[in-house]
Amino acid sequence: MEPTTAPAISIRSLTKRYGAREVVSKLSFDVHPGRVTGFLGPNGAGKTTTLRMLLGLARPTSGSASFGHLAYADLPDPGKLVGASIAADAFHPGRTARDHLRVYAPAVGAAERRIDELLGFLGIADAAQRRVGEFSTGMRQRLSLATALLGDPQVLILDEPTNGLDPEGIAWLREFLRAYAARGRAVLVSSHMLLEVQQSVDDVVVIARGTLIHASSLADLSAMAVATVRVAGPDMAGLRDLATRRGWTIVGGSHRAASELELRGIGAAAVGKAAFDAGIELHELVENRPSLEDVFLQMVSAAEPDSHVGVGQVPS
């Protein structure tokens, strides 16, 4: 279902320059209530910088980032409207988990009961009296999420929340995010891997080098994962003719051997039947459906040709 509500977050032409480097460039996208939006991009793409500008922790060079029509600094009760966990969250290492939450609780009017509830909910009740300095990355991640949830916010912003979580924690987070959005809340969650959040998100915003490269629903992104069929045999000229007559798309590639062909937008069964009917001998018929992660990585590598991320071979 496409959103019909007013956006909870609006990013408009947001730009951040550090010295001569533009790390976020004219970025625009919306985040809607009742939906989980995945904010995706490789390391260094500008995700954290964008979130920091949204939360008033960094000043935009130009453009705006707002909640409704208000910047974070102008919100009447920001702690109650917005809860955030940012990657570089600082914890006082000598403080216990409970004391950490006690420091933040007054700003959002959270009582001791809410702290207990969250420690239990995040599975760190047993560690409530332990110093945060002794916490694993996953436990810090849970404590950071507990802090973001203190005020039961309408808008939840999480920067790389899966970092350091074990598979069980990731599965838990997935369910939690879905349930949170189902209560009509807006959730913006950043990640450098679509795979880690794809079961949680409704919408995807992909950036690379600070620039927007894709924004759509997850369903529309899925539609871009078009299957291809690789065919090999002794009569590829005949198959080429057949493909042209049938209006199938032949995928280019001069590196391809003369004995093979790749077709897009048609299934293996249909190709096999048409070739059989035309008396064309086939030796191979392989359907390849790219995963969502493949589509994401291809987008990113097209925008960052020298990126080390994802596709390609292990360097030798």
Coil vs helix vs strand at 236: helix
Looking at the Cβ atoms of 40 and 119, the one nearer to ligand ATP is 40
Closest CA to 59 of 72, 47, 68: 72
Among 3, 41, 79, 161, binds ligand ATP (CB under 6 A): 41
Binds ligand ATP (CB under 6 A): choice among 8, 45, 143, 215: 45
**Nearer CB in complex with ligand ATP: 87/274:** 87
Q: Which is nearer to ligand ATP, 32 or 192 (CB)?
A: 192
Q: Name the segment binding ligand ATP (CB under 6 A); options: 36-44, 215-223, 251-259, 306-314.
A: 36-44
Number of neighbouring beta carbons within 10 Å of residue 24: 28
Cβ within 8 Å of residue 40, ≥6 positions away: 47, 190, 191, 192, 193, 194, 197, 204, 205, 206, 207, 296
Rounded least distance, CB 60 to ligand ATP, Å: 13
Task: Please identify which residue in the block is written with the tokens 């609006």.
Answer: 10
CA distance readout (Å), 233 to 141, 238, 271, 284 = 54, 10, 13, 7
Q: Are 206 and 40 in contact (CB under 8 A)?
A: yes
Is 275 one of the binding residues for ligand ATP (CB under 6 A)? no
Task: Tell me if 18 contacts ligand ATP by CB under 6 A.
Answer: yes
Interface with ligand ATP includes 43 (CB under 6 A)? yes
What mask of x and - would describe binding to ligand ATP in positions 74 to 103, judged by CB under 6 A?
-------------x----------------
Q: Do the beta carbons of residue 165 and residue 200 sit within 8 Å?
A: no
DSSP reduced 3-state for 91: coil
Q: For the window 154-193, what string marks contact with ligand ATP as x by the rule CB under 6 A?
A: --------------------------------------x-
Distance of alpha carbon 51 from alpha carbon 57, whole angstroms: 8
Using CB under 6 A, which of the segments 37-45, 134-142, 288-296, 303-311 binds ligand ATP?
A: 37-45
Distance CA 88, CA 58 (A): 13
Helix (H, G, I), strand (E, B) or coil at 254: coil
- We find the least distance from the C-beta atom of residue 254 to ligand ATP, in angstroms, to be 35
Is-contact 14 66, C-beta < 8 A? Answer: no
State which of residues 10, 37, 48, 85 lies at the interface with ligand ATP (CB under 6 A): 48
Residue range at the interface with ligand ATP (CB under 6 A); choices 7-15, 28-36, 41-49, 172-180: 41-49
Minimum CB–partner distance for residue 157 and ligand ATP (Å): 13
The residue ranges of DSSP E strands in 162-202, in sequence order, are 186-191
Considering only residues 8, 9, 11, 23, which one is a binding residue for ligand ATP as defined by CB under 6 A? 23
Comparison of 48 and 198: residue with beta carbon closer to ligand ATP? 48
Name residue, tokens 């912003």: 157
The yes or no reply on residue 274 touching ligand ATP (CB under 6 A) is: no
Residue 194 token pair: 């679509």
DSSP category for residue 20: T
Interface positions with ligand ATP (CB under 6 A): 18, 23, 41, 43-49, 87, 192
